[in-house]
Amino acid sequence: MSGVHFDAVRIQGVRGEQVAADLIEATDGDAGPVICEATGFRWMYFLLAPGTAKDHTWPLGVQRFGGAGCRTVTYIGVPALNGNTWPLQWYSEPTPTAPYVEPAQLLTALEPVSP
């Protein structure tokens, strides 16, 4: 549940995939949790620590879920770490050293592909 267990930043399609790839490269493969939807709009969800998404200004086309200013609770599907949870899959799994995506690193990865 966004805003409680984590905040989420959502980016659509090829742009989201490129941002995720850039983030993973910049963090030597330890980017934190990124979820990919394999169907439809192919959203990429970047999971941030609770309450941190509101502290940043996100570029056009990036949606924020959770934190102050959000009037509703948003449920975001989280795939299992093991087993088939299609159409959701981990693009980058959480790790002990990166349990969440760092907002500043995500913003840096967004810079080259911002409109």
Buried b (16+ CB within 10 A) or exposed e, 95-109: eeebebbbbebbbeb
pLDDT of residue 22: 95
Average the pLDDT over 18-46 and give the result. 95
Question: In which element (H, E) is residue 37 found?
Answer: strand 34-37
pLDDT of residue 69: 57
8 pLDDT higher than 90: yes
100 pLDDT higher than 60: yes
pTM score, whole prediction: 0.90
Q: Structure tokens of 94?
A: 């959480």
Residue with the bigger pLDDT between 14 and 3: it is 14
Q: Rounded to whole angstroms, how far apart are CA atoms 15 and 20?
A: 9
Query: Residues 38, 30: contact at Cβ < 8 Å?
Result: no
Query: Residues 3, 10: contact at Cβ < 8 Å?
Result: no
Q: Rounded to whole angstroms, how far apart are CA atoms 104 and 115?
A: 18
pLDDT of residue 5: 81
For residue 107, report the phi and psi dihedrals to the nearest 5 degrees.
Answer: -60, -40
Task: Give 65's pLDDT tier (boundaries 50, 70, 90).
Answer: confident
- Specify the pairing of strand 44-48 against strand 63-65: unpaired
